[in-house]
A and B are shown apart, each in its own frame.
Chain A
């Protein structure tokens, strides 16, 4: 079974700073996807970024980028030039390729951006 661990329950930074959220996972699979989802106070789950394990290049989406270290089973999210609207719970998630598309989530990191 796969497990996903987010070791930072809470983080807080000032607006415009850069922040990195950590995520590690455990799996024996070689083909999989990794995701970061954002959950603002509205409770809506929003996809931030996705990484295919077979791609060595780190995914980027505007101010959001990942540092994917496959051998270390690490998948951190970097938010550059943080904005007040980035305040949310952030969840790291794992999905095995093939079969049922089950997402396995980490416990979440509550990120607060201060003005």
Chain B
């Protein structure tokens, strides 16, 4: 079934540990995104990639890094997790950027940093 997969589904992490959230899409979309969802704040963009090999910063990029080595994968890394990074993380993709295309979302990863 075409779509976006994220792993893990949920994770509890000790502060200071490194963590990579995985995201894979099989729709051959050019653009991919990472959002975090916090109660009362909606979803906020962390990083994005318009095409393989390029990345950009979103609204809340501090403490996170991404890479886009190929079209399908867009991992999000927390180099040294802090409790304020406790959130639900969504990966999304769209056919292209800049044209108002619908963004398709993955199922999310619930991350708790203690």
Interface residues, chain A, with chain B CB atoms under 8 Å away: 4, 6, 9, 33, 35, 43-45, 47, 50, 52, 91, 93, 95, 97-108
Contacts and interface: CB of A to CB of B under 8 A. Distances in A.
A95 B90 CA distance: 17
A107 B103 CA distance: 18
A101 B103 contact: yes
A52 B40 CA distance: 26
Contacts of B59: 102, 104
Nearest to A32: B100
Given A91-B42, A91-B43, A107-B42, A101 B101 contact: yes
A43 B88 contact: yes
7 contacts: A43-B88, A44-B107, A45-B43, A52-B100, A98-B98, A100-B56, A104-B45
Interface magnitude class on chain B: 20 to 34
Interface of B: 31, 33, 35, 40-45, 48, 50, 56, 58-59, 88, 90, 92, 94, 96-103, 105, 107-108
A9 to B, nearest CB: 8
Contact of A102 (B45, B88, B102): B45
A6 B101 CA distance: 23
- Of B33, B42, B99, B103, most A-chain CB atoms within 10 Å: B42
Contact of B90 (A9, A45, A50): A45
Contacts of A47: 102-103
